[in-house]
């Protein structure tokens, strides 16, 4: 026993010394990190406006979520209104109008995701292959411009172009012997118009991120591909796309999280009574119930449900992205 204890003593001392070394290393790391923060302390003042913005406009309003569980009356205030528990949510799931509205939201949003998400990637790759600088800059400017125009004006442009009496599209249809179509009042055409107009407005602006990712690719990879005799399409498939996959995945996660975000401005400015059954989405429904009918508790419950679903979608997509590709937001 004495011999065993003598053998164990040096081993224990080694373990203790290793633990001490690890503690010292941790302390040094902590000190070095704090020193780096201290050196950059003045730069952190630049974050103050952003922090104040998010606190005032994103975190403080979370207090208003309580309205979803109350029979809210503005004169009584949030705390003075009667607590009704999950009654608004029961009304939400048993109501006649909510499920069709949810279906319209998912159909339009997933159509935008499936059709619209690849478009900025394709546009950025095509622009990267253009060698004429003035033509490239001109296309970029034209593609970016619609993003800076509000949906009030863009919806008016779409309605004028598709007008059955004075619209350019119907004029061409009539020239080829067809009958004019009331596109904005057609249930079959309304959703495609919403999707295509959304792509028209956002494609150019979203391509900026992918263009930046492409510009960050090491030029030596393209030179090596040239030495191997690769053509333009081969370089796109084997160099450009693999290098921007992490950016594509991150943007796809954001897009999945925005599925429940139904672009209220766009739908509200394009919607009319004839296409209400296929175009009414959660945003317009909440506006109608909350502001026009003044049922604030119910409208808050609808908004809370939408945000919870969005949180689940972005968390799930981030989890699978991390497991399958190693790229994720967190």
In a domain, 6, yes or no: no
Q: Which domain holds residue 78?
A: 15-85
Please count the residues of the chain: 330
**Residue 27 predicted with pLDDT over 90:** no
What confidence score (pLDDT) does residue 119 get? 93
Mean pLDDT of 245-260: 86
Query: 302-326, pLDDT tens digit by residue?
Result: 888 888 888 888 888 888 878 777 7
Biggest distance spanned by C-alpha atoms of the chain: 108
Give the count of beta carbons closer than 10 Å to the beta carbon of residue 107: 14
Residues 257-270, mean pLDDT to the nearest whole number: 85
Q: Is residue 3 part of a domain?
A: no
pLDDT score of 193 more than 90: yes
Domain boundary (57, 85, 113) is at 85
Same domain, yes or no, for 113 and 61? no
| Angle, in degrees to the nearest 10, between helices 296-324 and 87-94 | 80
- Domain membership of residue 8 (yes or no) is no
Q: Would you say residue 211 lies in a domain?
A: yes
Looking at the predicted structure, is the pLDDT value of residue 47 above 60? yes
Q: If you average pLDDT over residues 66-93, what whole number do you get?
A: 85
Over the stretch 138-192, which tens digit does the pLDDT of each residue have? 888 888 888 888 899 999 999 999 988 888 888 898 888 888 889 988 889 999 9
Question: End-to-end distance of the chain based on CA atoms, in angstroms?
Answer: 53
Both 177 and 65 in a single domain?
Answer: no
Residue 312 lies in a domain: yes
Interval 225-234 mean pLDDT: 85
| Lowest model confidence (mean pLDDT) among 26-35, 36-45, 46-55 | 26-35
- Under the banding of pLDDT at 50, 70 and 90, the label for residue 28 is low
Most confident of the following: 201-210, 256-265, 313-322:
201-210
The answer to whether residue 1 sits within a structural domain is no
CA dihedral 208, 200, 277, 260 (to 10 degrees): 0
Note if the pTM is more than 0.85.
no
Based on the fold, state whether residues 54 and 100 are members of the same structural domain: no
Listed range (30-34, 123-127, 228-232, 280-284) with the worst mean pLDDT? 30-34
194 band by pLDDT with thresholds 50, 70 and 90: very high
- Residues 113, 54, single domain; the answer is no
103-120 mean pLDDT: 91
Residue where a domain terminates, one of 25, 54, 85: 85
Whether 189 and 303 map to the same domain: the answer is yes
Give the number of other Cβ atoms within 10 Å of residue 224's Cβ. Answer: 13
pLDDT band for position 199 (cuts 50, 70, 90): very high
Instruction: Tell whether 9 is covered by a domain.
Output: no
Number of domains in the chain: 2
**Which of 52, 85, 118 is the C-terminal boundary of a domain?**
85
Angle at Cα 284 formed by Cα 279 and Cα 290, nearest 5°? 150
Mean pLDDT of the chain: 84
pLDDT mean over 239-267:
86
The CATH number of residue 254's host domain is 1.10.3720.10
Kindly tell me if the per-residue pLDDT of 22 is higher than 70. no
Q: Are residues 70 and 130 in the same domain?
A: no
70 - beta bridge partners?
83
Do 193 and 123 reside in the same domain of the chain? yes
Q: Are both 139 and 227 inside the same structural domain?
A: yes
User: 171 and 277, same structural domain?
Assistant: yes
Same domain, yes or no: 107 and 243: yes
Q: Are both 178 and 301 inside the same structural domain?
A: yes
Q: Indicate whether 34 and 154 sit together in one domain.
A: no
Residue 28 domain-assigned (yes or no)? yes
- 3 pLDDT higher than 60: no
Under 8 Å between Cβ of 285 and 268: no
């Amino acid at each position: 026993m004495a011999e065993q204890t003598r053998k164990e003593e040096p081993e224990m001392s080694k373990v203790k010394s290793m633990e001490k070394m690890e503690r010292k290393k941790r302390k040094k790391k902590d000190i070095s990190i704090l020193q780096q923060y201290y050196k950059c302390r003045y730069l952190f003042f630049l974050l103050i406006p952003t922090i104040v913005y998010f606190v005032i406009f994103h975190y403080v309003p979370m207090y208003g979520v309580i309205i979803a569980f109350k029979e809210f009356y503005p004169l009584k205030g949030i705390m003075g209104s009667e607590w009704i528990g999950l009654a608004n949510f029961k009304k939400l799931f048993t109501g006649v109008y909510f499920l069709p509205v949810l279906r319209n939201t998912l159909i339009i949003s997933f159509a935008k995701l499936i059709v619209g998400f690849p478009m900025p990637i394709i546009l950025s790759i095509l622009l990267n292959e253009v060698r004429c600088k003035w033509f490239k800059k001109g296309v970029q400017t034209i593609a970016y411009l619609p993003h800076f125009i509000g949906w009030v004006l863009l919806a008016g442009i779409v309605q004028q172009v598709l007008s059955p009496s004075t619209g350019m599209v119907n004029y061409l249809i009539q020239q080829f012997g067809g009958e004019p179509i009331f596109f904005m009042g057609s249930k079959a055409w309304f959703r495609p118009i919403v999707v295509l107009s959304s792509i028209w407005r956002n494609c150019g602006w979203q391509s900026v991120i992918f263009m930046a990712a492409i510009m960050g690719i090491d030029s030596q990879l393209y030179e090596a591909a040239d030495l191997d005799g690769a053509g333009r399409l081969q370089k796109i498939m084997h160099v450009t796309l693999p290098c921007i996959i992490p950016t594509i995945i991150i943007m796809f996660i954001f897009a999945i999280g925005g599925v429940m975000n139904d672009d209220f401005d766009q739908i509200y400015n394009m919607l009319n009574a004839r296409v209400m059954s296929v175009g009414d989405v959660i945003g317009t429904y909440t506006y109608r119930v909350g502001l026009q009918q003044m049922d604030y508790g119910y409208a808050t419950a609808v908004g809370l449900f939408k945000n919870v679903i969005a949180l689940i979608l972005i968390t799930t997509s981030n989890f699978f992205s991390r497991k399958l590709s190693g790229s994720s937001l967190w």
